[in-house]
A and B are shown apart, each in its own frame.
Chain A
Amino acid sequence: MHELALTHEIVTVVTQAARGRRVTRVTLEVGALAGVMSDAIAFCFDAVAQGTAVEGAALEILAVEGRGRCRSCGQEFAAAALYQPCLCGSHEVDLLRGGELNVKSVEVEEAS
């Protein structure tokens, strides 16, 4: 389950960005064709966050639909799977969107 390793990486990235502040929300962007299960990240998140500045933070996962562009005819189309061909029949497809695995933003709490 590579999502566990990825969740460790997410918590590391967020902890560094927080620079000691408490994190109250983490927003991820996960593409439909990224090879990553959002549910599995969500499943690990609380446990991995324990004992870090991210502990107790809400996790928000924004799904990004797949989108491809055909190298043969130039057509852009919604790609539901990596093996989905263009309507023209070509499998030569560049993935424009759907491969994302990003920490989009964090919400941190600052004592004032």
Chain B
Amino acid sequence: MCATCGCGTDGEHDHDHRHGHDHDHDHGHAHEHEHHDHHEHGAFHHEHRRTVETLDARVLARNDALAARNRSWFAGRDILALNLVSGPGAGKTTLLERTIGDVGEELALHVVEGDQATARDSERIRAAGAPVVQLNTGTGCHLDADMIGRALGQLQPPAGAVVMIENVGNLVCPALFDLGERAKVVILSVTEGDDKPLKYPHMFRVARLMLLNKIDLLPHVDFDVAAATDRARAVNPAIETLELSARTGQGLERWYGWLRQHAAAARARSATSPP
């Protein structure tokens, strides 16, 4: 996958850097100052004053504020929200289908599906038996907090539900965008490289849980489970890991246990907080 745009190629296409402006840092101060440019001695020009204003504004501040709003919306309804992230083809949708079939009713699973295009995944989720809202990002490579806020209005999950947000298949961009989830769950399949945690460190650093999927294929691939786990911990010492196969069902009980525990915690938090 191309690390710049997340597309399926190995970066063989161009992300050339051809632009006309400079990156020079020709003044080293950020305080307010005025200077007069070439207009000042031109009698036929209006005189323009240039002022430097310090902003120190975080670029992601607006997204983070909307994410905080989603987070309190979830908290107010005792909802556990999880942001499922992975590269394309790691098995997010298959894992969701299986999870819905096994514990969908018990945990009141609701799903927000994010893809660049098509409603194929939301049709699979609906067929599996869970309420779902499909988001298509078009040219976008990730979901953002604003999209989730609007999707929740449509999805209307009841109090105590579990909302699974299946992000766009991309290990790069979704790492930066908080959606208001309780935790990011990163899925790595054993048909990928066991060095992915080091190659995409941002995602593994912000994830609470890593699911190693497709372990039924381990006899046929060179994937080293211990190496992958060590590498994930090098980036994020606190990361939890579970090994499973969404196809055969191996290891799924522990995943369901993790879900039950966190869903119960989401409900207990509001029960113990003051009115």
Contact = CB atoms under 8 A, between A and B. Distances in A.
Nearest to B2: A1
A112 B49 contact: yes
Interface residues of B, number: 53
A5 B138 CA distance: 12
Nearest to B137: A5
Interface stretch (B69-77, B86-94, B211-219, B231-239): B231-239
A102 B144 contact: no
Contacts of B172: 2, 35
B23 A59 contact: yes
A64 interface: no
Interface in A26-82: 27-28, 35-40, 42-43, 45-46, 58-62, 81-82
B55 A83 contact: no
Contact of A42 (B17, B53, B237): B17
B38 interface: no
Contacts of A6: 59-60, 176
A45 B62 CA distance: 19
B53 A108 contact: yes
B55 A37 contact: no
B4 interface: yes
A45 B19 contact: yes
A101 B202 contact: no
B162 to A, nearest CB: 27
A96 interface: no
Interface string B196-207: 011001100100
A13 interface: yes
Interface string B8-51: 00000001111111111100001000000000000000111111
Contacts of B17: 39, 42-43
B57 interface: yes
Nearest to A85: B234
B55 A103 contact: yes
A46 B19 contact: yes
Given A42-B17, A105-B52, A110-B49, A1 B23 contact: no
B258 interface: no
Contacts of A25: 52
Contacts of B175: 35
A107 B50 contact: yes
Contacts of B106: none
A1 B48 contact: no
Contacts of A59: 21, 23
Contacts of A39: 15, 17
A40 B202 CA distance: 17
B158 interface: no
Interface of B: 4-6, 15-25, 30, 46-63, 139-142, 144, 172-173, 175-177, 197-198, 201-202, 205, 231, 233-235, 237
17 contacts: A1-B6, A1-B141, A2-B172, A2-B176, A2-B177, A9-B60, A9-B62, A35-B176, A36-B176, A46-B21, A60-B23, A102-B58, A103-B55, A103-B56, A108-B50, A110-B51, A112-B49
Name the 4 nearest CB pairs between A and B, nearest first.
A2-B173, A82-B201, A1-B5, A35-B202
Given A91-B235, A112-B46, 13 more contacts: A6-B59, A13-B55, A13-B59, A28-B59, A43-B16, A83-B198, A83-B235, A101-B59, A102-B59, A103-B55, A104-B56, A108-B51, A110-B49
Interface of A: 1-2, 4-6, 9-10, 12-14, 17, 24-25, 27-28, 35-40, 42-43, 45-46, 58-62, 81-83, 85, 91-92, 101-112
